[in-house]
Amino acid sequence: MELMGVNQPQLLSKIATGNGHGENSPYFDGWKAYEDDPFHPTKNPNGVIQMGLAENQLTSDLVQHWLTTNPGASICTPEGVRDFKAIANFQDYHGLPEFRKAVAKFMARTRGNRVTFDPDRIVMSGGATGAHEVTAFCLADPGDAFLVPTPYYAGFDRDLRWRTGIQLVPVICESSNDFKLTRKALQDAYKEAKKDNIRIKGLLITNPSNPLGTVMDRETLRTVVSFINEKHIHLVSDEIYAGTVFCHPGFTSISEIIEEETDIECDRDLIHIVYSLSKDMGFPGFRVGIIYSYNDAVVNCARKMSSFGLVSTQTQHLIASMLSDDEFVGRFLEESAKRLAKRYGVFCRGLAQVGIKCLASNAGLFLWMDLRRLLKKPTFDAEMELWRVIIHQVKINISPGSSFHCSEPGWFRVCYANMDDRAVEVSLARMRTFVSQNTEAKKPCSQRKLRLSFSSRRLDEFLLSPHSPFPQSPLVKATT
């Protein structure tokens, strides 16, 4: 084969040859470590436990029960096949009317029915990833930028930047006030961007927060609305965890602020919401993403662009039926909150017993763990060194704060809703051993070789012994 000359043109695009996807981040490296050596209670008890994936698997039994009692909701069953032809041939990118109506109703339900949503403004997309990208395409041009409070979801670097060419400008939030967003932080980031000749087109907030697991209070949301109107920039509110709030304070949507806080000047054309069923319902594989904009032009453009990432009509049909069942939805949301609260409590208590603190939170599928005292030095290099030990020796995939653009080293996101009870106990046992060994030896964590061999039998003996760190855990009985 003839070799290409040095002066020959590049055959592939910059997107194809570049690294804009961000796969070189430790956030994704942790996933790869898990995929190479996945934990299994009997087949691979010493494997890596996946705690870097924000999936909600705690309520799948509720959905499965509904499906078995409502077989007609699927066009692939004898009870539902009569609708196969009509659903399989539906191609309108507006989506099934009953789907948009059901989603609008569900969005209101997860916000306590304190606000309503217009089904005609529901635009579907391929998951929240697709919804964010389409929104960015509608609001900004290559080179423009969005302000984003830190720490923020690691995937935003891919979702909003990779194909759109826009920039993300961090708004630095700090642990001294529990990472709350302030007007000063917004003003500082905006001013600095202007100094660098960066055109700010919008502000992106995540409420409830990923990775913090906290909700924004009304005063903060009022500040946000006031700020974006003052600067005349867009506000994109990512609310994909709205239905995961499991205790007080409750969730307040940006839609409630613009509807109820009439003393604040607000141009509704600047307000846009991104939603999804991936987290609240535990349906990441269904790829149901939603754009809800108060701007008619954005709705029209986003709907046309949705042709590149539609939700299948089969999925729309099923979701419409499920979310229209008011009794099921009410029972599901109530039970989901109970199970999330229970799992959150188990993790926080288990970590606290070895002196590990977490940011107080009440939403999401994760907690924000403080390991600053385990760092050799208060640097991001030390954070990465600690993370590598946890991945390769403790065999737990948690995500370092630096991958979420956290301004302070030593914080880690820990996902707790994507595993069964046994994996929960194994992961907590491993963390206990890890912290205890390093505390007793008073040596830098990276200098010690940890022996973490947890066979199923030894784990049960450990959990049921009087020395177990989980004597009150309701999950102990569940593993036997």
Compute the distance between CA of residue 11 and CA of residue 66 in angstroms, rounded to an integer: 51
Burial (0-12, 13-18, 19+ Cβ within 10 Å), 424: buried
Burial (0-12, 13-18, 19+ Cβ within 10 Å), 37: middle
| Residue 414 bridge partners (DSSP) | 367
| Residue 148 bridge partners (DSSP) | 170
Burial (0-12, 13-18, 19+ Cβ within 10 Å), 307: exposed
Catalytic residue among 101, 231, 279, 395: 279
Catalytic residue among 49, 75, 240, 273: 240
Active site residue 238: yes
Active site residue 93: no
Question: Residue 46: CB partners within 8 Å, gap ≥ 6?
Answer: 39, 395, 452, 453, 454
Catalytic residue among 238, 273, 370, 391: 238
Tokens representing residue 131 in the block: 């919804």
Do 187 and 193 form a contact (C-beta atoms < 8 A)? no
Catalytic residue among 27, 34, 152, 153: 153
Active site (catalytic) residues: 153, 238, 240, 279
